[in-house]
Structure 1
Amino acid sequence: MWYLLALSLSALQFNKKLSVVLLIVTTAIAEYTRIIDVRALTFLGILVIITVIHINFSSKSKILSIMLEILLLLMSVGLMLHVIPGFHNPIILDNVRAGPESRPFSMYYNFDKALIPFVLIICMKSLFRTDKPVPNRLWYWLALAIAVPGLLLIAVASGGLKIEIHHPTWLFQFILANIFFVSLAEEALFRGYLQQRFSSVMPPVLALIIASLLFGILHYAGGSLLVIFSTLAGLIYGLAWMLSGRLWVAVLFHVSLNLCHLLFFTYPAFQHLPF
């Protein structure tokens, strides 16, 4: 089922009809296996109704279009925060340690969060690709690539992380979840939608900063250090989106940072934080 969901998300930018068919099959399997219940199906039914209304009437009424977009945004935020009832995301890793000095953590396959790109593309056709990337040079990309391990080393210097090499047996599950059920959803909301919308009404750099701050705030449960770290990471992902105009490029940087974090540093944090 999860491979079908990942395939559906992979196809969303290039073949929406195929993507939707795969999502319908995935949803049926999810209902059969009790990963979702009637409340989640009701939510998806409402989403279908909103989609039909948006396709048929939003172009005729500016006010209706804005109202539907706000509703879709709120639905996306609800999915991101796991507050939409009816989704029973299975736990894949339960209180595991990446290494002896790493904090234990758990990981889920998030069906609800994975739906965010499907919701946002209804009102943002340019979610995956914009034709207005910032003119860039090779050194821009080299700087961004260096910033990925650089940010993690800053976290080491602050005491939040420690260098620790890992070779977890569950690496494949981690990568699958990170690409499709975490990074793609977060980048769709914060870069593909929010940063792009903000950029249409304010200077792009200010849009980048605001979207990154909101991304950092999303991680408030992990404490102030994680909020700061996530905000700085958001700047990297946002710059990748600005330079390329491609959502998948931002996802690539997001996944690369998370993977680098897991393989070479204490994950998700050093178990003996100095504060």
Structure 2
Amino acid sequence: MWGVLSASLFFLPFNRLIALVVLAAAAGMGVYHHILTPVSLACLGVIAIAAWLHQLYHHQRAVSLALELFLVACSIALFYHLIPGFNNPVMVDQEKVGPLSSLYSMYYNFDKALVPFLLIVCLPTLFNAGQPDKKVGASAWVLLVLCIPAVLMLAVALGGLKVEMHLPPWILAFIMANLFFVSMAEEALFRGYLQQRLRQWLGPYPALIITALLFGAAHLAGGMLMVAFATLAGVIYGLAWMWSGRLWVPIVFHFGLNLTHLLFFTYPLYQHP
């Protein structure tokens, strides 16, 4: 089922019809496996009607804006698991990846995976914003890539992480979940939608900074050090979006940082003895 859900997200940037058909198949499997309940299906039905009305009345500014705000609010609710009726299964339950790492749990989140589907209704340019805000050369991209290990080593210097290599048995499950249900969902919300909308209203650099700060605040549950590192990471992802105009680029950066973190550093944090 989760591979089918991942496939629906893979097709979403290229062919919405195929993505929706595959998503419907994943939803059917979700009902069969009791991941989706009648309560969540009723909530999703209301959201689907709002998405249809948004498409139907997109020329009527006031109605379209009201429906967009509703869909964005639903996206945030799905992102934070606030909509009831989703039985997201735990795949890793309170395990230590290594002796210095803190306890870690991983869920497969059906609700969070739906966020890009809602946001592309609100903003058809979610995955492709057209011309980038700033054209840069290869050297700038190399520096941006090097910022990923630099941020992680900064976390080591400040005591939030330690170098610790891992290859957990659930690495393939992590790769699928983190790429589609975490990195893609988070980048769709923060870079694809929020940064793109804020750029339209405030300009590219205020949009970059505000979105990075909001991204950092979204990690408040991990403590202030996590907020600071997430904010720095948000700047990296935001620049990747600014310089490319394509959402897949910050998704790759985001996934690359998370995978590097898991493979070579204490995950998710350093557990003090």
Count residues in correspondence.
Answer: 272
Instruction: Supply the distance in 1 between the matched residues of 2:139 and 2:151 (Cα, whole angstroms).
Output: 18
Query: Structure 1 residue 71 and structure 2 residue 70: aligned?
Result: yes
Task: List runs of 5+ in structure 1 lacking aligned partners.
Answer: none
Q: 1:65-214 counterparts in 2 under 5 A?
A: 65-133=64-132, 134-214=134-214
**CA apart distance, 1:58:** 2.1
Shift of 1:155: 0.2
Partner of 2:12: 12
The residue aligned with 2:262 is: 262
| Dislocated runs of 4+, deviation >6 Å | none
Amino-acid identity (%): 50
Aligned to 2:226: 226
Give the deviation of 1:192 after TM superposition. Answer: 0.1
Q: What's the offset of the Cα at 1:36?
A: 1.2
Quote the Cα distance in structure 1 between the aligned partners of 2:68 and 2:51. Answer: 10
* TM-score normalized with structure 1 length: 0.97
| 2:242 alignment partner, SS class | helix
Letter in 1 for 2:131: K
Q: What SS does the corresponding residue of 1:201 show, helix, strand or coil?
A: helix
Note the C-alpha offset of 1:121: 0.5
Residue 245 of structure 1 pairs with residue 245 of structure 2: yes
Distance 1:269 1:183 in 2: 19
1:132-162 per-position Cα deviation (integer Å, ceiling 9, x unaligned): 2121111110111100000000000000000
Q: Per-residue CA shift, 1:7-38, capped at 9, x if unaligned?
A: 00000111111110111111111011110111
Q: Residue 13 of structure 1 aligns to which amino acid in structure 2?
A: P
8 A contact 2:51–2:71 mirrored in 1: no
**SS class of match (2:156):** helix
Tell me the C-alpha RMSD between the 2 structures. Answer: 0.9
User: Which moved further from structure 2: 45-54 or 249-258?
Assistant: 45-54
TM, length-normalised to structure 2: 0.98
